[in-house]
Structure 1
Amino acid sequence: MADLRRPERTFTIRQLCNEFKATPRALRFYEDKGLLNPAREGLNRVYSHKDRVRLQLILRGKRVGLSLTEIRELLDLYDENDEGAAQMARSLKKFRERATALEQQRDDIDNALIELREACNRLERRLTEIRPDLLPRAADYEQVLRARLDGHAEAMLGK
């Protein structure tokens, strides 16, 4: 198997799409946004090792919720002279900010779930008091209503 880390190695759009489970449209989009810069051989795009690494970083950034603008800022910071130190420092800051935001979202979701479970319990208690016949079918209530409405519509049309 060829070493994917060789700087002189090139890749076709199909190879990168297969490797990263991306679409050709996505790669062309990233190219239009200036995130990738493949060479051309006629009409074919030829991606370098650097393009492959950039694509990997783009997809990783998207997975953790970074915007394309944020991803571009991080990619543009790469400098071989400092071994990527400026890029790493900025990435660390961005990743910590994103982790904090995701933790807050998780807390918000946990609180929403608690509220929903409490509301379900209240609704079940109230249904038990006023219409216990509906309680076993509470999960199917929409279907029961739809059947009743369909029956009502048929009765209206039959008149």
Structure 2
Amino acid sequence: MNKQERIQIIQTIRKQIKPVRVVSACFAAIGFLILFLTNQPMWSTFPIVFALILFGVSSRKECLEICRITNMKQAKQWIQLRYVTSFVLISIAMTLFVIPHVADVSDLHILYWYLASSVIIIMTVVVETNLDHRVRQADPEQPLSNEYR
């Protein structure tokens, strides 16, 4: 299977997963609205955790489908590592963003929590890019994630 055919398959997979990702984003938005607009920040954790669960399920499905289109074992391992790493880092970033509000941290310390969360988000982009290139080395016909987004 050539690269263009793989891109078409991945885009079809992403179209199927898109509704779940939209629902996940909506729950995350609801959670962050509750976090910032109410005096009950603890209630924000439920929609945010649910959003992360939905995101994790959709990422797993996407990862498994993308792994099926390559025959290279090493490429499959790099693809799986990319998805797992991204999910873990995004979960940590969102947790670091929520903790100071739930734990009632002072305003000065909230800045440090936000900074740590931002650094982890930047790390996610760097790690994903690095792992994408390793996938390409393992299977030259496998498209990079920026080629099918």
When Rg is computed on C-alpha atoms for both structures, the one with the higher figure is 1
Higher relative contact order at CA 8 Å, sep ≥6: structure 1 or structure 2? Answer: 2
TM-score when normalising by structure 2:
0.33
TM-score normalized by the length of structure 1: 0.31
